[in-house]
Amino acid sequence: MNSSFNKFLIFKKWIIIFLVCLFLTCFLYIPSVNALSDAKQFVLDAWSLVNEGYYDPERFDDIQWKRIRQKTLQKQIETTEEAYSAIEDMLKPLEDPFTRVLKPKDYELLKSSNFGSEINGVGIQLGEDEITKKIKVISTLAGSPAEDAGIIRGDFIDKVDGIPSSQLGLANTASKLRGESGTKVLVQLSNAAEEVKEIDLERRSVDLRPVRTKRFRNDSHTIGYLRITQFSESVPKKVEEALKELKEKEVEGIILDLRNNSGGLVSSGIAVAESFLSEKPIVETKDRNGIKDAITSNKDTFFDGPMVTLVNKGTASASEILAGSLQDNYRSILMGEQTYGKGLIQSLKSLGENSGIAITVASYLTPKGNNIQGKGITPDKILDLPEAAEYGSTQDKWVRNAEILLDSQLDVNNEVKRDLNGDFLTEMSKEIIN
């Protein structure tokens, strides 16, 4: 009896040892396989970066974000291209076109546009239409192939080299438009009237020239014109230099032109706001941890005289932060059209294989607490006028209206023209002629 019982105990012991070994083998085997799969690790790294930084973690619950990771890693992912495709599919449920994976070429071009002064492509800045979800032109860069071909703001990009933009998505559509100087790309466009056309564009190096100045003189006053086309790293310093130059030319007021400025580095937009605001709130940001304290400008400014700021539907992102801060602090009258309405902030993270990922990490509010995402900023004075082919030219009626307003401001006494409570400025904005 004892002998049989002892044999049973020994048998039971070996069964337990076998099951434990089997469990440990399976447990250790799975991670080792994943560790050997560089492509799957690449996907997991992208998931982790988004999981740690995305501004709206409640969205993860809605789309079952952890389950998406699990299902994605169960796929056959052996190559880098399969990894990119898996990441794109993984991000789609977020329904955020600004959170996207960037292949090496796109990653390098985006960094170049933020930090450099030239980019190779056709010179189109793209966005996603809030209603139709179509890829549309926010603006064209001055002197670019797109501008030369007559492409205008509001046109829709239907196809690039025969591939529908709806299939490509925002990031890949932009990617296919870029390329080496001298190469060509076939673009199919349509407009609001559903007129369709195809244009063969030759890519070339586009000089971004982010900061441009002019001086306007009439019988009574001297007015400076400052145009900012985008917010790259070098822009704040260039703006300071431009303002210094304009002050040396004894300008009395400034027209700040942010038309078709689709943004760039948020930090640069904030830094430019500091050139005009003294100890005033610039912007509030809201990340996954809630609303942070407002970013406030320093005491010193580079220009404290009268200003008028021009905006249009192509004014977006960092340029809306600047425009909103100037308007809410009664520092400048805004004239033009409703702005684009991009109130989300992205952070650029590096991935392996020289690629990157853009992640929406925060939304922002203007100093008065306005969330402009999908809505934009309403100017103090709407201008229902055709825009000039060349901004800042003598044919630019928008600039002419801004000049009239500044002339009126400069004609009043110093005490009133520096009144920042907004009452006088708001009333005067109603006096502008069309």
CA 96 remoteness from chain centre: 12
381 is catalytic: no
Indicate the pTM of the whole model. 0.74
Distance CA 215, CA 330 (A): 24
Q: Which fold has domain 211-429?
A: 2-enoyl-CoA Hydratase; Chain A, domain 1 (3.90.226)
At residue 417 the predicted structure's pLDDT band, cuts being 50, 70 and 90, is very low
Nearest one of 33, 31, 38 to 82, comparing CA atoms: 38
The verdict on domain 2-100 having CATH code 2.60.40 is no
- Catalytic, out of 155, 158, 257, 328: 328
Residue 272 sits at the vertex; the CA angle it makes with 395 and 254, to the nearest 5 degrees, is: 35
Whether 60 and 20 have beta carbons less than 8 Å apart is answered as no
| Mean pLDDT estimate for the chain | 84
Burial class (CB in 10 A: 0-12, 13-18, 19+), 254: buried
Count of residues in the chain:
434
Condensed to tens digits (0 to 9), the pLDDT of residues 345-360 reads: 999 899 977 899 999 9
Whether 85 and 36 have beta carbons less than 8 Å apart is answered as no
Task: Write down the pLDDT at residue 4.
Answer: 59
Task: Write down the pLDDT at residue 29.
Answer: 39
At residue 318 the predicted structure's pLDDT band, cuts being 50, 70 and 90, is very high
User: Which residues does residue 333 pair with via DSSP β-bridges, in sequence order?
Assistant: 308
Task: Write down the pLDDT at residue 47.
Answer: 96
342 is catalytic: yes
Most confident of 91-100, 119-128, 386-395: 91-100
Q: Which residues of 69-99 are buried (b: 16+ CB within 10 A; e: fewer)?
A: beebbeeebeebebbbebbeebbeebebbbb
Q: Please, where are the H alpha helices in 74-218?
A: 80-91, 104-115, 145-148, 165-177
Task: Write down the pLDDT at residue 433.
Answer: 38
Rg of the Cα atoms in the chain: 27
For 285, phi and psi rounded to 5 degrees? -115, 150
Task: Write down the pLDDT at residue 114.
Answer: 63
Matching residue, tokens 């684009």: 340
Is 13 a residue whose pLDDT tops 80?
Answer: no
Is 119 a residue whose pLDDT tops 90?
Answer: no
Task: Write down the pLDDT at residue 30.
Answer: 42
Task: Write down the pLDDT at residue 228.
Answer: 94
At residue 19 the predicted structure's pLDDT band, cuts being 50, 70 and 90, is low
Task: Write down the pLDDT at residue 382.
Answer: 95
Condensed to tens digits (0 to 9), the pLDDT of residues 240-298 reads: 999 999 999 999 999 999 998 888 889 999 999 999 999 999 999 988 988 777 899 99
Is 374 a residue whose pLDDT tops 80?
Answer: yes
- Catalytic, out of 103, 159, 280, 342: 342
Q: Which residues of 204-225 are buried (b: 16+ CB within 10 A; e: fewer)?
A: bebebebbbbbebeeeebebbb
Whether 356 and 349 have beta carbons less than 8 Å apart is answered as yes
Task: Write down the pLDDT at residue 28.
Answer: 42
Q: Which fold has domain 119-207?
A: Pdz3 Domain (2.30.42)
Residue extents of the structural domains in the chain: 2-100, 119-207, 211-429
Specify the amino acid at residue 40: K
Task: Write down the pLDDT at residue 208.
Answer: 65
Task: Write down the pLDDT at residue 12.
Answer: 59
Distance CA 429, CA 380 (A): 7
92 is catalytic: no
- Catalytic, out of 144, 262, 275, 317: 317
Is 395 a residue whose pLDDT tops 80?
Answer: yes
The answer to whether the 2-100 and 119-207 domains have the same CATH topology is no
